[in-house]
Amino acid sequence: MRFLDCHGYRVLLHHMDGEMVTVRAIVNAGAYHNHRCACAAPGVCDPDGEPHNEGSEFTPGSAHFLEHMFFKGTKRRSYKDMHREVASIGDQNAYTSADRTVFHMDTVGTSVKRALALLLELFFEPNPTEEEFEKERGVIQQELQSILDSPVPYFIQNAEQAVFKTDLGLSTPIGGTIESVARCTLEEMLAFHERFYTKQNVMFALVGDLTHISDRDVFAAFKKYESALPVGKREVITPAEPAYGTWELPVLHSFEHTSDQVAFGLWTPGMTSFERHAGGYVDLVLDDLLGGGLHGLLMDRLREELGLCYATGYFSTSVWGQAYRLAYALVKPDSVDQAVKEMQKVLQAVAQGDFPEETVEACVGHTEYNVALPTTTPWGMARHYVDVWFSKEHLFAQGGGADVLLDTPQRALNDLRSRWADGRGRDEMNRALVAAAERTLRGSFLCVMNAPADSMWCSK
């Protein structure tokens, strides 16, 4: 892995054996930037405790709306021509998250120069029109409606909004709301682009088979866009830390959905990328221990042993290297109170070091597999380096060193696996798991959807 400075643009190059390659443009601007400038303090609230738009400039959903508009054609070709050109060599897509917007084209190595040229044309030469903008407004509103109509996406979205309620940048859906999208204007999209799409706030990546492109080719591709973006400045924002309750009395958020599905989830703190590395990525084993699949403790207890639910989940979301974890379950209406208690018991037991050794052994191997799997593909490796870049930039802004983060978790986990195999690492693993559990399971925030009226967690 290495970087090139191509006429002021940072370009990451990483060769991997194989035939595939991904070309990416990564912008350090996502849904969070709709609400906060870099100078804004995190978690600023009005006197009544409600978050307000300190530093706000843009309507919620602006970052996501802008992402859509990049696919409406360029100054040189219509969107139909662009779609056909890309389809002839591979595929394209983009996504917006809380802290970033990522555009990518995936192709075979022999077409990497063409893919880079097309991605740069799409990125540097968008040609949004008022007509296309109005058509896309309805498309995005339908996208948002599909989330509102689906119980699980709706639950997760509401759970995220609740736990981050003191931070307006994270408590608003990434795509905004149907109402906020109705207020967006094309002028606002262009202003968002001017504010955040700068050389210091953008990185490009080419990961995969790079045998068909030279450094000179890369420099030449960027040369024509040398003056396309201003230098700007690096945007670093520290989100507010959620307010967690105790296990006995978690912070509670109860809400309704039009479906009959009952769901609940417990948010717990996560680790920064630097903490994860320092801890040998043992928190990934902890994640697998709790929710890695049928072997996970939550699924084993709530579904297999007690039959309280169809499915459990355990995932983390990350903003600027800081992770937050959500353990959730879809349950029967008359089981929600018992299921919440049982989930709390499992999480507390793990936090106290009470977990079966044979399950831990399975989780070590399963975690190693999960970590290795994405690093075998160009898009998985590209995503790893993008995550590293965000964590690294954030830590540098705070005066910390983060070069160690450029390594993948594989080395640490491979070493852990070898020590486990000959018995040397078992006590070490148990101690590390307890330490990770103490860090990430120190409090909770409970979200419940469609709680029955007689449930202790119903807020009616």
- Alpha-carbon gap, residue 267 to 316, rounded angstroms: 9
Domains identified in the chain and CATH numbers: 2-223 (3.30.830.10), 251-449 (3.30.830.10)
Size (the chain), residues: 460
Closest CA to 384 of 234, 288, 284, 292: 284
The stretches in the chain having pLDDT less than 50 are 37-55, 394-406
C-beta of residue 410 within 8 angstroms of C-beta of residue 371: yes
Q: What is the pLDDT of residue 38?
A: 36
Q: What is the pLDDT of residue 86?
A: 96
pLDDT tens for 249-302 read 888 899 999 998 999 998 888 777 667 666 667 888 888 898 878 889 999 999
Q: How is residue 275 written in tokens?
A: 């903490």
Closest CA to 162 of 410, 415, 449, 455: 449
Q: What angle do CA 26, 29, 34 make, to 5 degrees?
A: 155
Closest CA to 21 of 82, 90, 93, 68: 90
Burial category of 25 from C-beta neighbours within 10 Å (exposed 0-12, middle 13-18, buried 19 and up): buried
Within 10 A of 260 (CB to CB), how many other CB atoms are there?
8
Bridge-based pairing state of the strands 20-27 and 202-208: antiparallel
C-beta of residue 364 within 8 angstroms of C-beta of residue 296: no
Within 10 A of 425 (CB to CB), how many other CB atoms are there?
18
Q: What is the pLDDT of residue 52?
A: 36
Within 10 A of 150 (CB to CB), how many other CB atoms are there?
15
C-beta of residue 261 within 8 angstroms of C-beta of residue 330: yes
C-beta of residue 207 within 8 angstroms of C-beta of residue 138: no
Q: How is residue 192 written in tokens?
A: 């968002």
The SS3 of residue 72 is coil
Q: What angle do CA 268, 273, 277 make, to 5 degrees?
A: 110
Taking only Cα atoms into account, the Rg of the chain, rounded to an integer number of angstroms, comes to: 23
CA 128 to chain centre: 27
